[in-house]
Structure 1
Amino acid sequence: MDYKLLEALAVIVETQNFELAANKLHISQSAISQRIKLLEENFGHPMLIRSQPIELTSIGEQLLSHYKKVQQLENEILPELLPDKPTKPMKITLAVSADSIATWFLKAVTPVLKEHLVELKLLIEHEERTIDKLRSGEAIGAVCTYKTPLKGYRSFELGKMNYCLVASKSFRQKYFSSGVTRESLKMAPAISFDHKDDMHVRFIAKHFDLAASEYYCHSIPSSEAFVELAKQGVAYCLLPELQIKKEIACGDLVRICPDKQLIETLYWHSWVLVKGINKKISQEIIRVGQAMLN
């Protein structure tokens, strides 16, 4: 394989722009277009879907995933081969949900970041979609709700994340003084992460037989903002119990239907050939995840 061509593919996907990718590689825009054309000719298959955002074809995903893995192997072995040479930070990209970041994930990666020269990039996605970042080659590891790993990866069960509906006491009194019902939910404002977040929708549909179109819901992509807005009495929301232990203990938030909850089992997926710093990060994620989620 010509890794200059694969590098061009990777940078285009990263920057989402041919011109920016060319600038990053210090070549002309026509040169980077030529590299993609040559790559497509070599494999007899298109690599990119030239849309907004730019997407990869299935062959493009496989090649990018391969290229990322080769980069990881190079990052691991170069310091061993050239111990006297100045080293650059090792780039590691992981896919994880905002809920995991707000609760346990940072405790897992912090020790490795303190000990090693690492440039960490976290791709924030919903637990059921983080595996797509492995499939596309954008990430080398992911926390997700799928047990079965992709080819070339291994999965480890971390534990269970319990979610419950919460609100402030004043909000509960205003909207749910007679309990949480289909009728009261139609009038009470909720919060979801974004339009892709179906966790809240699934919870309400399962327990109250309400479709998303039958109630209104703010869209705010921040787990921390969820907590703050709920505390301020702006809305009710579905949050991990692990995230709001203090708020529930001191009465800032209350469970509005304590008999109902959503339980998601989380898994860590990592490449089978992971070693060195990547292996340490994987081991810490498994250790901390299993300790805090069980």
Structure 2
Amino acid sequence: MAFPDFDYKLLKALDAVVSEQSFERAAKRLHLTQSAVSQRIKLLESQLGQPLLIRGQPLHPSPLGQQLLGHYQRVIQLETELSNQLNVDEQQAQSLPLAVNADSLASWLIPALSPLLQQQRVEMNLYVEDESRTWQRMRSGEALACVTSKATPIAGSDSHFLGYMEYLCVATPAFIERFFANGVDRQSLSRAPGMSFDQHDDMHIQFLLEHFSLRPGQYPCHTVRSSEAFMELALASGAYSLNPRLHVAKHLADGSLVNLVPEHQVRVPLYWHHWQLAGKLMRQLSEQIRTYTQTCLPQL
């Protein structure tokens, strides 16, 4: 299929609708009428001969729409870099949409980003998803890069191994006295409440199935959609949980948390994916993240 010359204001309308998840909010963001936004997307679809937006709840781009949005995000970043080079005294913030898992965001990502944030004018947009799903934000064109557990890169992107996020099964001494006084086994775990992040998080499920032959429904389990709350609920003796070693190290050291089953841990490999044509800022960011994670994430 021969693509027409793109009118980027049409791509901008598609990007706004997907980002805002609403034609009305997209119109306000672009200072247009809702009808004008709709017409721009229809015109782009007419030029390309296929739908670009799947109109449902949530709104999401079609496969071709995903390709176009990824292209648009990269073009915007490159244009901003060029503009900043040509207008040194009037530099504008560069948009940096990233997809990351909650545990990385709560532990190593901000320190890894810190030097860049102090040196550059950056406007971040962080999409927080399970590490197995962050790549979908990148594939859809919403993110320029992602932290993911998937090793294989999307076509047109590069993948770099960052290290392993290690998870330990922990609880407070008070919780252990209440539920595990006679040890951690299938019977005690069937009574003790655990924690999962959301419906996409199967780490707790797989851990109990693999090591204790317990299936979902055979034990109580909280749903807690926050890495920080995971820690707080565990420290409040409300549950036991699989928490990153980075989060629990100091609590294990002072005795406020105990590793329930030292013989078992979960290791999740993390990878950094970024578009190949994403500009100087992304190259700098990628180098910082790869360098930083070598110091805080196990490499073997």
Structure 1 residue 266, shift from structure 2 partner = 0.8
Task: Look up the equivalent residue of 2:69 and give its one-letter code.
Answer: L
Which residue of the other structure, out of 262, 279, 286, is the alignment partner of 2:283? 279
Structure 1 residues 136-285: aligned runs within 5 Å: 136-285=140-289
* Distance across 2 between alignment mates of 1:119 and 1:163: 31
Task: Look up the equivalent residue of 1:17 and give its one-letter code.
Answer: S
* Distance across 1 between alignment mates of 2:180 and 2:195: 16
Structure 1 residue 42, shift from structure 2 partner = 1.0
Structure 1 residue 98, shift from structure 2 partner = 0.9
Task: Look up the equivalent residue of 1:266 and give its one-letter code.
Answer: L
Find the counterpart in structure 2 of residue 83 from structure 1. 88
Find the counterpart in structure 1 of residue 128 from structure 2. 124
* Distance across 1 between alignment mates of 2:31 and 2:161: 43
Task: Look up the equivalent residue of 1:78 and give its one-letter code.
Answer: S
* Distance across 2 between alignment mates of 1:73 and 1:205: 47
Give aligned pairs, total: 293
Q: Is the 8 A contact 2:100 2:129 kept in 1?
A: yes
Do structure 1's residue 54 and structure 2's residue 59 form an aligned pair? yes
Q: CA RMSD in A?
A: 1.1
Do structure 1's residue 69 and structure 2's residue 74 form an aligned pair? yes
Structure 1 residue 30, shift from structure 2 partner = 1.0
Structure 2, unaligned stretches of length 5 or more? 1-5
* Distance across 2 between alignment mates of 1:124 and 1:206: 27
Deviations 1:260-279 (A, max 9, x none): 11111111111212432222
Do structure 1's residue 44 and structure 2's residue 49 form an aligned pair? yes
Structure 1 residue 16, shift from structure 2 partner = 0.7
The SS at the match of 1:269 is strand
Task: Look up the equivalent residue of 1:29 and give its one-letter code.
Answer: Q
* Higher deviation after alignment, 270-279 or 253-262: 270-279
The SS at the match of 1:180 is coil
Structure 1 residue 83, shift from structure 2 partner = 2.3
Deviations 1:79-116 (A, max 9, x none): 112224x2221110111111111221111001110111
Deviations 1:51-77 (A, max 9, x none): 111111111111111111111111211
> TM-score, normalized by length of structure 2?
0.95
Task: Look up the equivalent residue of 1:133 and give its one-letter code.
Answer: R
* Distance across 1 between alignment mates of 2:71 and 2:264: 43
Deviations 1:219-271 (A, max 9, x none): 11111111111111110000111111000000010011111111111111112
Task: Look up the equivalent residue of 1:216 and give its one-letter code.
Answer: P
Structure 1, unaligned stretches of length 5 or more? none
* Distance across 1 between alignment mates of 2:277 and 2:58: 31
Taking every aligned residue pair, what percent have the same amino acid on both sides? 45
> TM-score, normalized by length of structure 1?
0.97
* Distance across 2 between alignment mates of 1:25 and 1:53: 20
* Distance across 1 between alignment mates of 2:215 and 2:48: 46
